[in-house]
Every structure is written in structure tokens, then in C-alpha cells.
Amino acid sequence: MTATTDRIVLITGANRGIGRALLEEALRRGARRVYAGTREPLGHPDERVTPLLLDVTDAAQIERAARSVPSLDVLVNNAGTALYDDLGDRAAIEDQLAVNLFGAHGVTQAFLPQLTRSRGAVVNNLSMTAFAPLPMVPAYSISKAAAFSLTQSQRALLAGRGIRVHAVFTGPTDTDMSRAFDAPKASPESVARAVFDGVENEEEDIFPDPTSQTMAAGWRSGPAKALEREYAAVGPPHARPAGFGGGGGRGPAHRRPPVPPGTGTRPASRRAAPVPVRARPRSGRSRPAASTYDIRPRRHPRTTRRLEMTTPRPGSILLGTTRPAELRDWYRRALAPDHRGEGPIDLGGFLLVIEERDDVAPGNGEPGRMILNFHVDDFDAVEAQLRAAGVDWLVPVADRPSGRFGTFADPDGNTLQIIRFTRSA
């Protein structure tokens, strides 16, 4: 759980409605500093509140705001607009995309350096219309659906930096924006409490009111959420967080070409591990996690419709965990001391992706179900490296008829082995 107490929070659209309620709730929970982003000057009696002139459609204001905030733990993209329309005016669509989609994107990009340093959180206040459009506000619904896709993409791409990204699916709320909408409405204060409860409980998707909560269970256990997780497991090896852009990321020259969902093209070169290690995972399944494969269909003549089959080649493995930072640090010490950054750990061309998940237990209850084997050339050097890292040996290093084996476990209880096979094995 990540408490709001003593944290630094920035809220856009903080002058009224849900934004003002979020501001007051952050103060009530003991935030050390709350930056209140508004288009007009805002006064507040609490000395912990720092007003920020921040029109999320103004790139210059966003840049100035980012320079004036030295550190940040939680960014709440709350600023939004809703106009009644019938899709007859393209400008109405563009205006709402400018605020609800590109505004959230621009602000997040600007504050990535601060959020990366703090391993903080991004909270995007969306709407139930992200799931299904409300006919009286179709352009607004389009913008929120796009912002939902942005949120899912940010979640996958920023996980390697340790940044959590939360989606808030707000239902009807008693604010000026929804005054003309005739339906039971939650109070802004109750929504704000539920939002911070969700952030503190590290819920990816937050349903903060009675209406939206009717969708929560179905969404979290449904096929669309499962597909999001599957695609997220594919994405990070090809779109490393350092290349996400903005805020200290690597420049465009370092970005890899886009990869269609469900496929994987491995980079031409990667940082080599300090000791020659070739990871060849045995068949089997990891505890609720998935392997990512490099699938390259062979070219076939245009004159035939038959597709030649190709054997999938393992390219990476994803380890789901409740403590990604600790697990990532352990793997660095034990297997890749030269690894830098928050992206996938390169184990001699095979990528190890470590992801925080809410569908796994703190420890692996079935450590024998999946064993990650490392076939090594210099067994003594790798063994010494592991001992220096203080690994927990499950089975002492021993010579067997087929070769030399050493079995150990990571902090989550996943089983690993180093192996040097004999030539005759």
C-alpha cells in the first residue's frame, strides 16, 4: 500500500468539482505538498497548497510548471471538458481531444523525470464513457475512450520505470460538468476518497462510485483486461521505458520501430551479461506469468497462398511479482551486475521482464512448476558471482553424470539453476 501521507501530489483542474475534492482529500490524508493546477489563479488557506497556472492545452505553461516542481510522487490528470454535440462539428471533437487526451499526455510527459525518480504514480481521471459512448456527449466519449487507451499504453511502457498508472472510471458525479445529466450522482468528495483509496491500494483500475462499481468485477475478470495484460507482457521488450519520450528519456534516434501487437522482433544488439550466460528456459509455465516469443513468419512467394510454419523462438520471460523493485535489484546483483536502467534485464540476449501484478501471491507456492535454467560455460565464475550476491541455494552445487548443477531461488521463491553439461550429455 502506498500512503498519501508526506507525499507530493499535483492535481490538474483543481479549482472545482472532482478536482477541488481531490485537492482537499490529499490534504486531509497528510500530503506534504499539493500543487493545484488551474487555468486561473487559485487561492487556498492551507500553506501546503502551491497554485500552478496550468492550462493543459498550453505547452509553454506545462513546461514552466514542470520546471517549478522539483519532485513529485503522484500526478492526477483530472482536467477535462465535456460539450454536448452530435458529431456534426469536427472542431468540437478536436477541442475535447485537446484537453482530455493530449492534455493528459503532455502533462505526464513533462513530469516523467520527477515521477521516475520517486517511482511514483499517474492517475488519469477517465469516465464510464471510455467503455461505451453516451449519445448526448459523443465527442467527449471519444476523447475518454482514447484517453483510456493512452492510460493502458502508459501503464505498459512506464512499468519498467517503477511508475504505476491508474485509470479512474468515474460515473455520474454531482459537478457543474454533469449538471444537465439527469441521473443519480455521487458527491465529488466520495469520489475523491475512493480515488485515493484505490491509489493507496495500488488498484490499476479504480471504480469510485456506486454506478461505476457495478462494472468493476466484470471488467477485472473479463477477456479485455486479460488481453491488456497479455499485450503489456509483449510490449516492454520492444518499447523500453527509456525511449518513451519526454523527461530524460532517450531521444528519437534510439527508439525502435513500432511492433504490431502479438509479434516480437528482437533488437540487433544488446548489452552482454558480465559472464557468458545462455538462458534456455525449460518447457513449462511460470507462476501466473507468461513468456514472450519472437515469431518471425518466413517470406513466401506471392504465387502461393500456403504459409510456411516457423518454430517460435523464446525471446523473454515475464515474472509477475508483488515487489518488483526488490526482485529486479536481486536479479541485477545475482545475474547482471552491469545492467543499468529500469527496463528488461538482458541475460545474454534473453530478456527478463519483471512486472508488478495484482493476480499473484507474494511467494511462489509451486516453485517446481517452472525452473529457469542457465547453461553456462564458466561455471566457477558464475557460481562465485551468485555466492557474492548471497543467493539462497536450494541444492548445493554438485557434479552429476550429465554435468554440473547448482539450484537456487529468487526472493519470490522462483527456482533457477546454473548448468554446465558434459560433452556427452
337-390 pLDDT, tens digit per residue, is 877 767 788 887 788 888 888 888 888 878 777 888 888 888 888 888 898 888
Annotated active-site positions, please? 140
> CB–CB of 323/362 below 8 Å?
yes
Cell of 298: 518466413
Domains of the chain with bracketed CATH:
8-234 (3.40.50.720), 263-297+311-421 (3.10.180.10)
- What one-letter code names the amino acid at 381? A
DSSP 204: S
CA-CA-CA-CA torsion sign (185, 188, 189, 191): positive
Residue 344 CA to chain centroid, in angstroms?
13
Cell of 194: 475512493
Predicted confidence at residue 257, as pLDDT, reads 41
- How many Å apart are CA 399 and CA 346, to the nearest integer? 28
Strand-pair category, 49-53 with 33-38 = parallel
Strand-pair category, 313-321 with 277-279 = unpaired
H/E element holding 219?
A: helix 210-220
**Residue 208 reports pLDDT greater than 50:** yes
- How many Å apart are CA 177 and CA 99, to the nearest integer? 14
Backbone angles phi, psi at 374, to 5 degrees: -115, 115
What does the CA dihedral 236, 243, 125, 355 come to, rounded to 10 degrees?
30
66-120 pLDDT, tens digit per residue, is 999 999 999 999 999 999 899 999 999 999 999 999 999 999 999 999 999 999 9
- How many Å apart are CA 330 and CA 389, to the nearest integer? 8
pTM: 0.58
